[in-house]
Structures are given as C-alpha cells and as structure tokens.
Amino acid sequence: MKIEFGNIDELAALSPDVFWQQYVKKSIPVKVSKLFDSWPAIKNWDFNYFKNKAGTQRIQLKKFSSGGGVKVISCQLKDYVNDLECYDRDPNKKHRKLPPYCHDVPFFHLVTDLIDDVRPFATEFLPEWYRAEWWKYAQFFLGPAGSVTPLHFDTLRTHNLFFQIHGIKEFILLPPSAIEYCYRNSWRWFDVNPRNPDFETYPAYRLVKPMRVTVGPGDVLYMPPGMLHYVSTIEKSISFNIDFHTRRSVVNSFQFVLDGMPSKNILYNIIISLGLILKVPPHYLFSYYKSYLNYIS
Ligand SMILES: O=C(O)CCC(=O)C(=O)O
Ligand SMILES: [Fe+2]
C-alpha cells in the first residue's frame, strides 16, 4: 500500500506575531525555510568543529531498538567523531552497524562558545520567561545518515522549536489524536514505523493521515505539544531543539497525570509553572530544572 503524506505550511518568512497567533495558539505545525541562514553556525558547524571545540567532553549516545528499548552509551566526543569518520569512509558500510546517535545533549552548556554561532537569536519566538537565557534549554542531535528517532511525542508535552543546522532530516508528523492508532509501548513511545508501516501487525494505523516535511540548513520547524513525530536523518546532521511551555501548555500538561505521565515529568512541569504562572525568575528555578537535560524518558 502506497503511503500518502499531507504537507504542513512551509513559509519563506514568519513574524513572531503571526507565529504566536496563527500557529502556537492554534496548535498548527509550521516550517520556515532559511530563517537563520546568516548564522555563523550554518557555515561553521560540522562534526570536526565540535571535535575541535569539545573533543574531551563526555557525551551521551543512544541506540533505539524496536519495541521501545533505548540503550545509552557514554564516550568522549572525539572518539564518536572518529568513529563516524571511519564509518563514512568505509565503502562497505552497508554491511556495517550504524554508529549510535548523539541524542538530546545540551551542547551549549558544555561549550558556551557555540552560543555565539547562533546569534542573533530570535528570542521573540519563545515566551518572555525563557528569553534572557534561551540557550540553557537547547538540546542537540548529532548523527550519521540513517539515524532514526522512533515515533514519539515530547515527554513534558511542550512546544518544540527545531533548528536544523547541518545536513537534512525528514519529519513524519501525526496529530495528537493519532495516539490511539499508533500502538503505544510506554508513556511517549510508539511501535509503528510511519515511514514503512506494517499494516498487518498494526492495522489501526490505516486510519492515520500522516504529514511529512524535510528540513535543511537554516530551516526551523515548529511542532505543537503532543504532536507525534518520527525523525529520519537523510544526510549526516547537526540540529538542536528548544522545548518550551506556554502558560496554557503547562496547565494542560497536568491532565496527563491520569494518562501515565511519569512523576518526574510532573515535577519538571511544576517547576516551569512556577516561572510561567507565578513569575518566579528563571535563575531561581534553573538549578531544579537542570537535571531534565540528562533525563531519559
Ligand atoms: O532529530 C531527531 O532525531 C529527533 C528530534 C526530536 O524528536 C525533537 O526535537 O523532539
Ligand atoms: Fe521529539
């Protein structure tokens, strides 16, 4: 059966005002092409740049397996980059195991120089509470072509701004209402592979209408809370995202206490609520939130 994919809005420009009114408020995903084309990061960032800046930093690598398992490995960044280079050079790589995926790593904390490569940063695309130190909330993804993040939604039920810096990725997006047709195996992970669905094993997935979008250097993708996504790295990539709450999304998140949201998530969302609703300044709260950046859920 051939899979039909819908599109999302793809714009050449987007003002913060339209972003908040037409997309965030209405929970509609959007891609803006080449929004950050002029950042030094677009020219400079590749795997060797990271190795030169932070080769001895220990990083977290992930191996996702079918059935919802994830194995975490830790190593020095330079060893990872060397491993990727060996893999790239190998003419027989088809027969070789894909190297693991450097997934959800807070590189701006590890190498603060990198922050200057993504200025001027459009902080108006974040709620005011996050703006002064937006970089603290960014998580990075570095991986070879073929890396995949299986179908999931973001664990705190946050909004997501995704910045593609180097290489190309494909996102398959499903609305939160598709949850019941995707064969959930834990709080946020699902068994269906929307790129190549096995309709015999997962017949209910026939009812889902997936959307597809590709991102390249300088592109930004916005995903609303609860949107399911399956992410394929088409070309060796460097990307980062910022998961953020609004007052509305953080309040909404508490309804999922009854739906299996882990208690740690509830705690992180309470911390963010203190900022967004009770206006506790971020520098008082960050030390309580920080462990979220290494949280595997
Ligand atoms: O880029 C990826 O592989 C995963 C991205 C993702 O899931 C996210 O930004 O929430
Ligand atoms: Fe995600």
Q: Residue 243: which residues within 8 A CB-CB, separation 6 or more? A: 137, 139, 154, 156, 158, 159, 160
Q: How far is CA 142 from CA 29, 52, 90, 197, 233, in A?
A: 23, 15, 19, 26, 10
* Statement: residue 1 has pLDDT above 80: no
Residue 5 has pLDDT above 90, yes or no: yes
Q: Helix 47-54 and helix 77-89: axis angle, to 10°? A: 150
Query: Is the confidence at residue 170, as pLDDT, over 90?
Result: yes
CA dihedral sign, ordered 44, 48, 52, 55:
positive
pLDDT tens string 258-271: 999 999 999 999 99
Residue 236 has pLDDT above 90, yes or no: yes
pLDDT of residue 163: 98
Average pLDDT over residues 276-287: 97
Q: Does 297 or 103 have the greater pLDDT score?
A: 103
Q: How confident is the model at residue 276 (pLDDT cuts 50, 70, 90)?
A: very high
> Does 148 have pLDDT greater than 80?
yes
Q: How many Cβ atoms sit within 10 Å of the Cβ of residue 255?
A: 10
Average pLDDT over residues 127-156: 97
Q: Please give the distance, rounded to the nearest whole angstrom, from the Cα atom of residue 176 to the centre of ligand 2.
A: 13
Pairing of strands 30-32, 9-11: parallel
Is residue 149 left, alpha or beta, with left meaning phi > 0 and alpha meaning psi from -120 to 50? Answer: beta
Ordered by start, the domain boundaries in the chain are 9-244, 255-288
Q: How far apart are CA 297 and CA 152, in angstroms?
A: 11
**Cα–Cα dist 124/130, whole Å:** 10
Query: What does the pLDDT look like over 70-116, one tens digit per residue?
Result: 999 999 999 999 999 999 999 998 899 999 999 999 999 999 999 99
Q: Is the pLDDT of residue 66 over 80?
A: no
Nearest alpha carbon, ligand 1 atom 5:
231
Ligand 2 mean position, distance from CA 194 (Å): 15
CATH number for the segment(s) 9-244: 2.60.120.650
Mutate to test the pocket of ligand 1, among 229, 237, 243 (most ligand atoms within 8 A of CB): 229
Ligand 1 lining (C-beta closer than 6 Å)? 141, 149, 154, 160, 162, 169, 229, 231, 239, 241
How does the average pLDDT of the chain come out, rounded? 96
What whole-number distance in Å separates Cα of residue 227 and Cα of residue 100? 25
Q: Which residues contact 270 (CB under 8 A, 6 or more apart)?
A: none
Q: What is the pLDDT of residues 179-218, one digit of tens each?
A: 999 999 999 999 999 999 999 999 999 999 999 999 999 9
CA 151 to ligand 1 center in whole angstroms: 10
* Cα 243 to ligand 1 centre (Å): 10
**Nearest bound ligand to CA 234?**
1
